[in-house]
Chain A
């Protein structure tokens, strides 16, 4: 079961405050889309609008071909995995997972069997008699997922479902989430503020800021060819160098005006856009790489962050010849 979601010109206001401004987005059936942005950017509001927990002030939301205006959450082909999971503490895992089926009038034997199958899908086979408080955070997250998927929604909405887990578990769950989505084929709309999580699981990332969509593209494109300065910095550390009249402080650049954006790992001795000789100011060992601050000799006031290979000698004062392999120049 899967369906496309079409969001057109949706705005949401609470009194004076505007949470979303003229948002439009097409999500394909079976796609794994991640809404990414800082807190307060409107990503959760957008998720609530799709789920039907709030009605948009303006605009339309279609799921499949059906307009969702005035359709209550219980009548929408969507289910939600909540941030706090909202597992019913007084029910067993089986009853939790079977709750939606029970509300649809399925008889006990059938819905229990389905619930067990869903628990098996998320790797909790045979634990149907347990209660939520007996589980670890990661297991609760799986139960919430099984419960939401049990009613075979067309669209699954996930509100920062991994936010409460520690880093290691989060990385593991990301992989599982992606695998489960591939298996069931349901459209997933996932909200997070963690850009690494977004890149790890998304088919497409929707970067949001201050109630607007900044960029919609696959992870690689969002990271390497950001459309806006906000996207560029939100997706990871980046050097921003002002360009005026085709010149950066260290030399000529193939663009008239704007901001030259270079990721720290894109700087190396081989890069095509030459920065020239740079002096190392300081450096720290990060395990996978060495993170150093350098200044071009031609522009000593400019400080760049660069990731160097572990074997690179980096005592302060040493001079390296650097260039950028990938970069964008943004004009805004």
Chain B
């Protein structure tokens, strides 16, 4: 056997466990889910077959269409706000904070990342709730007469998400910014660019792959999240994941839950293709 052949056999051997695991517990279940999405419920029993009825229902039922729209709207708003807030924060840490304090500044900026995800949403409830810190403060200052209804609204969901993803994006954008050779900015300014021109023509395009990758992760993670909308948004404006969990819990309607998941997956795939030109997923 040639050396190259021996090498590649050995490589396959090392690859096999990871590939088998991913195939068995990721690809296979996903295909199973797609198959199940074409099944039907009769009473509490699942009847397998090839019936696109679940999909027809999703795209005609106002509740389900509404959930799809809510999810999309919330996710897009969250992604945009998070990027817009995180970029300046990352840039300030990378370019304004003295080098020896940067690691500390960055660590501080993402410290609440390390609280439990469930607890973080709950904490926002304490801040935004009817008797929460914000309302008590505004009432105390006499700025409002009645407590604001923030919790159990879409606004609360968006705030909770933005809090989490600003931290995540600050990390990824910072990592991108400090990788850039400082000579790019110096070259631009040397050739007559203003601060703003340097940013718009040089720094932003060069960090775009990192920004898009972070934005894509934000999109994927927020559109698929159940906890934040469930705790902060309540049950008035359901999102797709909430609807999926409802199908599982209330009626045990696995086929419909599967079909909804496939739709969710399709949305993420569309987002993937929309951003794939700049995505660097293996460089996160």
Contact = CB atoms under 8 A, between A and B. Distances in A.
Q: CB atoms of A and B under 8 A apart anywhere in the complex?
A: yes
Interface of A: 51, 53, 72-74, 78-80, 82-84, 86, 88-90, 99-100, 103-104, 147-148, 151
Interface in B140-197: 181, 183-184, 186-194, 197
User: Is chain B's interface secondary structure helix, strand, loop, or mixed overall?
Assistant: helix
Contacts of B35: none
A77 to B, nearest CB: 11
A124 B58 CA distance: 59
28 contacts: A53-B186, A53-B190, A73-B186, A73-B189, A73-B190, A74-B189, A74-B191, A74-B193, A78-B190, A79-B190, A80-B187, A82-B183, A82-B187, A84-B183, A88-B184, A88-B187, A88-B202, A88-B206, A89-B206, A90-B205, A90-B206, A99-B188, A103-B193, A103-B194, A104-B192, A147-B191, A148-B190, A151-B191
Contacts of A80: 186-187, 190
B195 to A, nearest CB: 9
B interface, size bucket? 10 to 19
Q: Which 5 A-B pairs have the closest CB atoms?
A: A100-B191, A86-B183, A103-B192, A86-B187, A82-B183
Contacts of B193: 74, 99, 103
Contacts of B202: 88
A72 B189 contact: yes
Contacts of B192: 74, 100, 103-104, 151
A144 B199 CA distance: 20
A99 B190 contact: no
Interface in B189-243: 189-194, 197, 201-202, 205-206
Contacts of B189: 72-74
A104 B191 CA distance: 9
A308 B75 CA distance: 79
A147 B188 CA distance: 11
Contacts of B188: 88, 99, 103
Nearest to B182: A86
Contacts of A78: 190
Nearest to A95: B201
Contacts of A99: 188, 191, 193, 201
A74 B194 contact: yes
B205 to A, nearest CB: 5
Nearest to B209: A90
A51 B189 CA distance: 11
Contacts of B194: 74, 103
A127 B194 CA distance: 28
A86 B186 CA distance: 9
A79 B189 CA distance: 9
B184 A103 contact: no
B199 to A, nearest CB: 13
Contact of A82 (B186, B205, B206): B186
Contacts of A100: 191-192
Nearest to B188: A99
A80 B186 CA distance: 9
B184 to A, nearest CB: 5
Contacts of A151: 191-192
A141 to B, nearest CB: 14
Contacts of A90: 205-206
Contacts of B206: 88-90
Contacts of A88: 184, 187-188, 201-202, 205-206
B194 to A, nearest CB: 7
Nearest to B191: A100
Contacts of A83: 183
B184 A86 contact: yes
Nearest to A75: B192
A271 to B, nearest CB: 49
Contacts of A53: 186, 190
Nearest to A103: B192
A74 B184 contact: no
B191 to A, nearest CB: 3
A78 B191 CA distance: 9
Given A73-B186, A99-B201, A103-B197, A86 B191 contact: no
Contact of A84 (B181, B190, B191, B197): B181
A84 B182 CA distance: 10
A74 B188 CA distance: 8
Nearest to A147: B191
A51 B181 CA distance: 18
Contacts of A148: 190-191
A83 B190 CA distance: 14
Contacts of A89: 206
Nearest to B192: A103
Given A51-B190, A72-B189, 20 more contacts: A53-B186, A74-B191, A74-B192, A74-B193, A78-B190, A80-B186, A83-B183, A86-B181, A86-B187, A88-B205, A88-B206, A99-B191, A99-B201, A100-B192, A103-B191, A103-B192, A103-B193, A147-B191, A148-B191, A151-B191
